[in-house]
Amino acid sequence: MSDVENEKAMLQRKLAAKTREIEALVAKQQHLGDLDTMETTDYERLRTQVEELIYEWQEANVRPSLSNPDTALNRLIAQREEIEEQIVELQVR
């Protein structure tokens, strides 16, 4: 694999890990238990909710009338967004 492909693969792993970290935080906040022992349907609901939270964060990030308060969740989402931006930058090289 080329250096760019290796870097992209590494960033994809970081993105997946950060997403998992967000899922774990939301599950903890909602007292849903451990991700590894969660029922499949509960995990799918959690994933959908996390996707919605990420989308809401993205919306608030681009609209001046909205804001993202400084919370643990928003910090994790911001870190995830930085990883996604790095992946996009690699793709346009």
| pLDDT bracket for residue 92 (50, 70, 90) | confident
User: 65: helix, coil or strand?
Assistant: coil
- The average pLDDT across 27-40 equals 95
Q: Is the pLDDT reported for residue 60 higher than 80?
A: yes
| pLDDT bracket for residue 1 (50, 70, 90) | confident
Boundaries of domain holding 22: 3-91
Which residue, 51, 81, 56, 82, is CA-closest to 67? 56
Render pLDDT for 23-33 as a digit per residue (tens, 0 to 9).
999 999 999 99
Would you state the pLDDT for residue 66? 80
Number of domains in the chain: 1
